Amino acid sequence: MADQKVAFITGVTGQDGAYLSEFLLKKGYKVHGLKRRSSLFNTDRIDHLYQDPHVDNQNFILHYGDMTDSTNLTRLIQKIQPDEIYNLAAMSHVRVSFEMPEYVADVDGIGTLRILEAVRLLGLEKKTRIYQASTSELYGKIQEVPQKESTPFYPRSPYGVAKIYAYWITVNYREAYNMFACNGILFNHESPIRGETFVTRKTTRAISRIALGLQDKFYLGNLDAKRDWGHAKDYVRMMWMILQADEPEDWVIATGKSTTVRDFVRMAFAEVGVSIVFEGDGINEKAFVESCSNEKYQIPLGQEVLSIDERYYRPTEVDLLIGDATKAKEKLGWECQYELSDLVKDMMQSDLKLMLKGQYLEEGGYRTMNYYE
């Protein structure tokens, strides 16, 4: 295909990388992805897209690389000559960023500079459009409700601080070198392939196991935090729309609704017919089974299914996120197709299926127990 568009996705093995690859391939793109060398397979989310490298005209091609290696990134961009780069690679876990702040600054912050600088050095400023995965974590200790493009930033974690560098260096390269470089300020988005250590997936996995009698309870941190949760499928569509816009700009993408972690847990239990009641305050809060209406999932009434573990608190927390995506709706015609209730259903159905398939049936071990951040 002479005019086939070429995309390069960093972070292709992550949640968004997988959905975006699927989306772009359906649109007829040739998709190149950056994957890290790992001692175990790390391509679970994209294995269904894999194409045998021995056949001609592959449309999905993976390359080894790392955001800390500028020579590797520059060489790949030179070889691929992408029309669009989606910079999704990041150490994306906020709690973990407190444990490894220097690495996060390098990957999430300077990594973005390495991509922008490669495009500039290679003289691709006019050809290559760049999407930077910015985040509602930039708003941190919020200065305004709801948060929109003009809301001042106040990051609350090494992750947020690294991402604020990435945000501004993207703006600076756009202004200094006329590059089509844009920030998508995306609020939390989840899915059945969400990383298992984020609170939504940790919850749906644990509740699926509790419903099947494989574990009795699980542990979380701050139940009062409020997040604006959308479905990742809606959000990757917007990444592409941002790069098709007439002008390079920065965009907030959010549902405009915010829910506590506690209510997310309630909703996920409701998917297996279980109603829970919360008792106690702060670190002494617990949840118990109040009623159970689904014969398939019989959990004893009164069973303690959730406790608080202080280790899952963050040194500095982001209490409330709620986004205003009016600009994206009005200028790009973006709309959410999924409600939070659809998202919870999708995640619960998928995790119940996974647990039933036996992948996680074994007892013990950190994968099945309460070890996650």
Q: Residue 368: name its binding partner from ligand NAP, ligand GDD, none (Cβ under 5 to 8 Å by kind).
A: none
Which element (helix H / strand E) includes 327?
helix 326-332
Q: Is residue 68 within the footprint of ligand NAP (CB under 6 A)?
A: yes
E runs forming strands in 93-208? 129-135, 181-186, 189-190
> What residues line the site for ligand GDD (CB under 6 A)?
92, 94-95, 135-137, 187-188, 197-199, 202, 220-222, 225, 227, 261, 312, 314, 317-318, 321, 373
Q: Residue 299: name its binding partner from ligand GDD, ligand NAP, none (Cβ under 5 to 8 Å by kind).
A: none
Length, in residues, of the chain:
373
Q: Is residue 138 within the footprint of ligand NAP (CB under 6 A)?
A: no
Q: Using DSSP, state whether 355 is helix, strand or coil.
A: helix
Closest approach of ligand GDD to the CB of residue 139, in Å: 8
Per CB under 6 A, the segment of 174-182, 183-191, 316-324, 358-366 that binds ligand NAP is: 183-191
The pair of structure tokens assigned to 196 is: 């298992």
Per CB under 6 A, the segment of 34-42, 218-226, 282-290, 347-355 that binds ligand NAP is: 34-42
Burial track 242-269 (b if 16+ CB lie within 10 A, e otherwise): bbeeeebbbbbbbbbbbbebbebbbbbb
The answer, yes or no, to whether the previous bond of 146 is cis (omega within 30 of 0) is yes
Q: Give the strand pairing for 274-279 and 286-292.
A: antiparallel
Total of residues contacting ligand NAP (CB under 6 A):
27
203 carries an active-site annotation: no
Beta bridge partner(s), residue 253: 186
Is the Cβ–Cβ distance between 48 and 94 less than 8 Å? no
Residue type, 332: L
135 carries an active-site annotation: yes
Q: Residue 36: name its binding partner from ligand GDD, ligand NAP, none (Cβ under 5 to 8 Å by kind).
A: ligand NAP
Q: Residue 27: name its binding partner from ligand NAP, ligand GDD, none (Cβ under 5 to 8 Å by kind).
A: none
Q: Is residue 189 within the footprint of ligand NAP (CB under 6 A)?
A: yes
249 carries an active-site annotation: no
Is the Cβ–Cβ distance between 58 and 51 less than 8 Å? yes
Q: Residue 373: name its binding partner from ligand NAP, ligand GDD, none (Cβ under 5 to 8 Å by kind).
A: ligand GDD
Q: Residue 220: name its binding partner from ligand GDD, ligand NAP, none (Cβ under 5 to 8 Å by kind).
A: ligand GDD
Considering the candidates 84, 137, 190, 271, report the single residue annotated as catalytic.
137
Nearer to ligand GDD, 29 or 139 (CB): 139
Question: Cα torsion for 297, 303, 308, 311, to the nearest 10°?
Answer: -70
CA atoms within 13 A of residue 290's CA, in its CB half-sphere: 10
- Return the residue of 6, 46, 77, 91 that touches ligand NAP, per CB under 6 A: 91
Which ranges constitute the DSSP H helices of 151-253?
158-177, 199-211, 232-244
* CA neighbor of 155 nearest in space, from 223, 191, 109, 87: 109
For the segment 258-277, give every residue that binds ligand NAP (CB under 6 A): none
Q: Which residues bind ligand NAP (CB under 6 A)?
A: 10-17, 34, 36, 38, 42, 66-68, 88-92, 107, 133, 135, 186, 188-189, 195
Catalytic residues: 135, 137, 159
